[in-house]
Amino acid sequence: MTIMKPENEAALAEMVKTAQGPIRIFGGGTRDIGGPTEGEVLSVAGLSGVSLYEPGALTLVAQAGTPVAEIESVLAAESQRLAFEPMDHRALLGTSGTPTIGGVVAANVSGPRRIQVGACRDSLLGVRFVDGQGRILKNGGRVMKNVTGYDLVKLMAGSWGTLGVLSEVSLKVQAVPEASACVLLYGLEETAAVDAMSAALGSPYDISGAAHAPIGIDGHSATMIRIEGLEASVAYRVEKLKALFAGAGAEIHVERAPQNVAAGWSWVRDVALMQGGSGDVWRLSVKPSDAPGLVARLREEHPDIKVLYDWGGGLVWIETPAGRDLRTTGFAGHATLIRASEETRRTLRTFHPEPTPIAAITKGLRARFDPRGIFNPGLMG
């Protein structure tokens, strides 16, 4: 199999323009999510490198194929980071390769800090991409506030390559706070855990992570509340949160060692609980207070499902027996099938079905951005 591997944006545009058939767009190939696609592989790994970084303006511009690790190390040298904490899908999906920033953007990958700082799309300031006709297009820029014309930046984030091949992205970055802490509540059942997370998120204490594992790292129910900031401020908020949870009926423990706080949140971010398993993995986006009831209904049918709540309960990871369609369990929100066999992905579809008028808009947009329908056909349905 030949792989198209342009070394710059102009070559990328030329390859798209002259493509004779469908194209599967690859960053690092670590996020094998979506409907199975046919077509010639186009790797953007050759478009690599940080082209601009202004720590004092909190902005970074990088070619789409730049490894996430490279960006993280460039940022770390200035004590900065990607605020939205993108998940690494490799262990969960059993993939190998090098995650790229273009892949992160194309899949709008966000982590636990989503509840505080927004998703990947909220940190994305600008894009350059090549559309289905091989035109090099741009939208947004590298400034924090920009309402000049339509916001195609948001549209490109999470479009999974179906609208264009990203060539460059600009991102707003964040300073790494000097201190962090994780307040752990042991022993809460799920409704009480979501209530506790809601109380924390509804407090003035600026929570940067709120997750609950019915079976945590050490096998017990654990609710995790993260706070970050100046040392004096973190210490103050830890005490306030302990007081807030005093009546919750949980055993309270405070983790202050930075490496332990980081490890705990990587465990949540990368859904370690479901790594190496054989079931299907679903990602449900729901109203937080709906989550425990939904899980309880699923347990009536499948008592052994694995569950992880993030985003204060608004994001629920569920591992189910293969082939079970979670969408038949009625709920308000969205269910995305993240890990499943090709066969299951074909029959159940990865993305939540859209209402007719929305599906028509989606179809119309794709037809305008990619008139020949060559980009990742079938991936989003």
Quick one: 154 or 372, whose CB is closer to another protein?
154
Q: Report in angstroms how near the CB of residue 54 gets to another protein at its nearest.
A: 6
Strand partners for 306: 319
What is the C-alpha separation between 90 and 353, in angstroms, rounded? Answer: 26
Considering the complex, state which of residue 59 and residue 98 has its C-beta at the smaller distance from another protein. 59
One-letter amino acid identity for 92? L
Q: Which is nearer to another protein, 70 or 178 (CB)?
A: 178
Q: How far is the CB of 218 from another protein (least distance, A)?
A: 29
Which listed residue (32, 40, 70, 178) binds another protein by CB under 8 A?
178
Residues 73-112 that bind another protein (CB under 8 A): 78-79, 108, 110
Q: Binding to another protein (CB under 8 A): which residues in 7-36?
A: none
- Report the alpha-carbon distance of residue 26 to residue 309 in Å, rounded: 30
- Closer residue to another protein in complex, CB, 45/64: 64
Binding another protein (rule: CB under 8 A), the pick from 177, 187, 277, 293 is 177
* Residue owning tokens 């609208």: 163
The correct pick among 118, 187, 277, 293 for binding another protein (CB under 8 A) is 118
Contact pattern from residue 230 through residue 269 relative to another protein, giving x for each residue in contact according to CB under 8 A and a dash for the rest: x-xx--x---------------------------------
User: Which 291-350 residues touch another protein, going by CB under 8 A?
Assistant: 311, 314-315, 332-336
Q: Which of 201, 213, 241, 244 is in the footprint of another protein by CB under 8 A?
A: 201
Query: Among residues 235, 350, 220, which one has the least CA distance to residue 283?
Result: 350
State the minimum distance, in angstroms, from the CB of residue 171 to another protein: 14
Q: Does 219 bind another protein (CB under 8 A)?
A: no
Sheet holding 40-43, edge to edge: 3-4, 40-43, 23-26
Report the C-alpha gap between 87 and 267 in whole angstroms. Answer: 10
Instruction: Name the residue nearer to another protein (CB basis): 215 or 359.
Output: 359
Q: Shortest approach of another protein to residue 146 CB, angstroms? A: 5
Number of residues that bind another protein (CB under 8 A): 84
